[in-house]
Amino acid sequence: MTLFDDREHAFEAKFAHDAEMQFRAEARRNRLLGLWAAELLGRKGEAAEAYAREIIKADFHEAGDEDVFRRVQQDLGHLLDDAEIRAKMAELKAEAKAQLLQEV
């Protein structure tokens, strides 16, 4: 194997790792968002966990965050405006990334 092949393999491995970490961070963010929204809706315990799983599943409808945003907006639109929901999503994404970095 040449030096070029080694570098190519390293870049491919880094790309795969970064993509996996991004997926895990988004899934964790969605769980945290679901638990936060469940609390606002008065759900506790298993009901809160079930709602968080629903939010995680909502992310598989289309690429990006809009499917998750729409789901939470549908449930919390009467309590919060769009900017507050988006701000919480951004805050929780940073928190999810920090949690994953601590685990590594």
In order of their start, the domains of the chain are 22-103 (1.10.790.20)
The ranges of the chain with pLDDT < 50 are none
2: left (phi over 0), alpha (psi -120 to 50) or beta: beta
The pLDDT of residue 96:
95
The pLDDT of residue 17:
83
The pLDDT of residue 57:
92
Q: How far is CA 51 from CA 28, 58, 102, in A?
A: 14, 11, 26
